[in-house]
Amino acid sequence: MADDERFTEEEVGLILSRAAAAQAGRSMTLAELESAATEAGIDGALVRRAATEVRLQPDTPPARNPGIFGPTLLVYERRIEGRVDARAWEDLVSEIKRRTKAEGGVEQLGKELVWAARRRNGTGRELQVVVTPRRTHTLIRVEERTGGLAGGIYGGIMGGLLPVGLAWVIPVCIAALGVPVLIPFVIALWVYATYLFSRTIYRGALAPRQMELESLANGVAETCREFATLPADLPCGGT
């Protein structure tokens, strides 16, 4: 094959993918990846950004409990290599406050960091961030219970629309249509339509929170990575 042979964009992607697969038999440092990419004509900054995105991918998908009314528990977990200690707590708290709109504070500060926002008098959010160092890695868990939000939306919409529906369903079925036998079916249809409308509104209200929580988990993970001590650097007696 001639050295000056030109390949299409699709062929370039396939060639690089196969080369990467062949290289995957051994581990590489970020510096080695950047050097190899530079030799291949790929911007090293793009490799560094891609490496960051890969490391920030959750070990498990966001945990939710859908239920009949939609998810009422949102969980985002991250795991980073290396262990953080109390030196990172102040920066982690600052990062949490910067990325969340909830009013909260530190509930536990010691072997692990627990920051939480609690509902008070029926308002606010149930949000918690837990950073747990292990010997070789650090676990981050961000979770929010959204039952209060669900109750407010479903209670407000269904509590307001159901009486309105009943007020016109019975007169329409009896007076206008002259078929009172349809009353149970129309009422059931109205209840179901009201439920679907409430669920749609609730899911729309959850979307920005899900984005916020994922961003929060990523931000906390990045801050932890800045302070993490890799296993090789740990003292022999550490736990």
The 3-state secondary structure of 184-202 reads HHHHHHHHHHHHHHHHHHH
Helices marked H in the chain? 9-23, 30-39, 44-55, 89-99, 147-171, 183-227
Q: What is the mean pLDDT of residues 134-144?
A: 90
Mean pLDDT of the chain: 77
Compute how many other C-beta atoms are within 10 angstroms of the C-beta atom of residue 56.
16
Confidence of residue 238 (pLDDT cuts 50, 70, 90): very low
Query: Which of 37-41, 160-164, 211-215 ranks highest by mean pLDDT?
Result: 211-215
* pLDDT for the residue numbered 100: 85
Residues 6+ apart with CB under 8 A from 38: 44
Q: How high is the pLDDT of residue 158?
A: 85
Q: For 93-113, write each residue's pLDDT tens digit.
A: 889 988 887 788 888 777 888
Residue at 105: amino acid letter: G
Please tell me what DSSP assigns to residue 111. S
| Segment (H or E) for 10 | helix 9-23
**DSSP SS3 for 29:** coil
Of residues 145 and 66, the one with the higher pLDDT is 145
Which pLDDT belongs to residue 139?
A: 92
Q: What confidence tier does 220 reach under pLDDT thresholds 50, 70, 90?
A: very high
| Residue 162 CA, distance from chain mean position | 34
Which domains are delineated in the chain? Answer: 63-146+207-233 (3.30.310), 149-202 (no CATH)
Instruction: Return the exposure string of 112-134: e unless at least 16 CB atoms fall within 10 Å of the residue's CB, then b.
Output: ebebbbeeeeeeebbbbbbbebe
Per-residue pLDDT of 109-125, as tens digits, reads 778 889 998 888 777 88
Q: What is the pTM of this model?
A: 0.65
pLDDT digit string (tens) for 6-46? 767 666 655 665 666 555 555 666 676 677 667 666 776 76
Contacts with 162 (C-beta within 8 Å, 6 or more apart), sequence order:
190, 191, 194
Q: What is the pLDDT of residue 161?
A: 81
User: Are β-strands 63-64 and 73-81 bridged in parallel, bridged antiparallel, or unpaired?
Assistant: antiparallel
Does an H or E element contain 231, and which?
none
Strands (E), 110-164: 113-117, 126-133, 137-145
Closest by CA position to 138, among listed 93, 73, 88: 88
Instruction: Please say whether the beta carbons of 143 and 116 come within 8 A.
Output: no
